[in-house]
Chains A and B, each alone.
Chain A
């Protein structure tokens, strides 16, 4: 039971990093990023491949964040040029292209077979609970750091300006501030968080393949931040909690109802995420647009 709870907590902590990044991008800045899973994927593959080469985790995780940021930089430039709905489509396409690249470049990524045997973090500790607890401790520390950084951003002039960009980008320009640098930095920072999340994910699961990085992951994170209420750090946390309840609940449901096949369960999950997106956009627009009591 403890092992199970720790396992859930680890996955939840990884999702929180993703949700914090997306909340920064959409909730605070208004950038519709539909390609979040692409940055997650870049981070996961970077960490896995560098671990194979024997890089120490501190370096490989930094590289995962850096490469995800590097991938976000051109996206930032593109976001300046496009209307928001077009950028959403382009960012979705971006994450699909990332998946195509890791599928196709077999020499590097083993294609659809994926990368197996990614070493656990803290390999020195006994496998099982001690090891998982150590991973969880590091993840919690990283999360606290990320949350502290987000709080700092929200209360800073930078945070005020990105919220102004979200509320009315034209007015920001009219008052003499250039949204460009802000949007690029926000996209890169969110991507860095996703990249680190990917690195943790690769090491924890031990196996990555392209079909783990489908757009559904992106929209699960969207579902989380909408349910929690966008623009708030607490919303990202609460939303992730609900998301985990749902994901684990569906797994539990399959355990007690073995006549449902795993493929069918995957369809059910997809359907529930879809339904949640529809219902929340229809009936709880404040979750999507934020309300007037933000902080």
Chain B
């Protein structure tokens, strides 16, 4: 029983991180109707930038802020340089372009940072034991950081005028034109927010495991699965689905093996699309 509780706890931690990545995807997919396959590589970039920032400044905090800023800026740059011009084109154009952007970002990371695994330089901490259940202090910090991010995003979406506009546009794209705030400002805020969230997700994955150029791409499938599972354009859904997916993946690992963890998210994605395409809370249907 105890190993399972440990796995489930671990699942919640990695699920929160998947949830963050899914949140980044669902924001852009829901508001801008754009399936952004570059999200994973923006995550990796955030982690690498944070690493560089941390080693230059000597503190993880400054490194983290730098990583988030780089991810947000690159996300916005992708929008202005590429994605903006594709809004009236068929989905295949957005998909291919975002995958192209993903490849370019990863190529730059590969050349600049190399392909060796890198780790964040963190003080070693002894795991806590409560009733024989082990739990790492680092995991607690990761969870708290993820939760703080979620709270911040929800505050932005619900308590700021631009956030409310974003939600309104997510519910009904035709509203974009009649709302008082210019669509351009909504889009700028949206891509910055989405990039920042992806950056945080990447940094947290990097802290929990290792940093490689491929780490973000490898999380893309679980992230899309969680975004669709939660209902496209539904931030709470993305996070809840991410946590569920994280727990399922971890708890199932002893049965299906480590490599099939990712296949599980594919199974979930498929099951959701075929059985309940609206997702847990969603309104936009992926089926026809």
Residues of A within 8 A of B (CB): 26, 32, 34, 78, 81-86, 88-90, 92-94, 96-97, 100-101, 103-104, 216, 219, 222, 226, 263-264, 266-278, 281-282, 285, 288-289
Contact = CB atoms under 8 A, between A and B. Distances in A.
A268 B111 CA distance: 8
Contacts of B97: 277-278, 281-282
B66 to A, nearest CB: 23
Given A89-B269, A90-B269, A282-B82, A96 B95 contact: no
Contacts of B104: 271, 274-275, 278
B86 interface: yes
Contacts of B89: 281, 285
Contacts of A86: 228, 273, 277, 286-287
A282 B93 CA distance: 8
B100 A274 contact: yes
B110 A264 contact: yes
Tier of interface size on chain B? 35 or more
B262 A274 contact: no
Contacts of A93: 221, 224-225, 266, 269-270
B73 interface: no
B113 to A, nearest CB: 10
B91 A271 contact: no
B234 interface: no
A61 B102 CA distance: 35
B92 interface: yes
Interface of B: 35, 82, 85-86, 89-97, 99-111, 114-115, 213, 221, 224-225, 228, 257, 259-260, 262-263, 266, 269-270, 273-274, 277, 285-288
In the complex, the 10 A-B pairs of residues with the closest C-beta atoms, listed nearest first: A274-B103, A271-B107, A277-B100, A267-B110, A85-B91, A278-B100, A274-B104, A86-B286, A274-B100, A93-B266
Contact of B260 (A90, A104, A269, A282): A104
B111 A282 contact: no
Nearest to A272: B107
B91 A274 contact: no
Contact of A277 (B103, B109, B286): B103
Given A219-B99, A272-B107, A275-B104, 8 more contacts: A32-B91, A34-B99, A82-B287, A97-B263, A100-B262, A274-B105, A285-B89, A288-B93
Contacts of B115: 263, 267
B107 A288 contact: no
Contact of A282 (B85, B110, B269, B287): B85
21 contacts: A78-B273, A86-B228, A88-B95, A90-B269, A93-B266, A94-B266, A100-B262, A104-B260, A263-B110, A266-B110, A267-B107, A274-B99, A275-B100, A275-B103, A275-B104, A277-B97, A278-B97, A278-B100, A281-B100, A282-B97, A288-B92
A275 B103 CA distance: 8
A81 B91 CA distance: 17
B273 A90 contact: yes
A96 B100 contact: no
A26 B91 CA distance: 13
A273 B110 contact: no
A196 B15 CA distance: 40
Between B92, B101, B259, the greatest number of chain A beta carbons within 10 A of the residue's beta carbon is seen for: B92
Contacts of B93: 281, 285, 288
Nearest to A93: B266
B44 to A, nearest CB: 13
Contacts of A83: 91, 285-288
A203 B86 CA distance: 42
Contacts of A281: 86, 89, 93, 96-97, 100
B260 A100 contact: yes
B96 A267 contact: no
Given A32-B95, A282-B97, A271 B108 contact: yes
A271 B103 CA distance: 6
B110 A289 contact: no
Given A81-B287, A97-B263, A104-B260, A270 B110 contact: yes
B98 to A, nearest CB: 9
A244 to B, nearest CB: 19
Contacts of B288: 81-83
Given A274-B100, A275-B100, A281-B86, A89 B35 contact: yes
A104 to B, nearest CB: 4
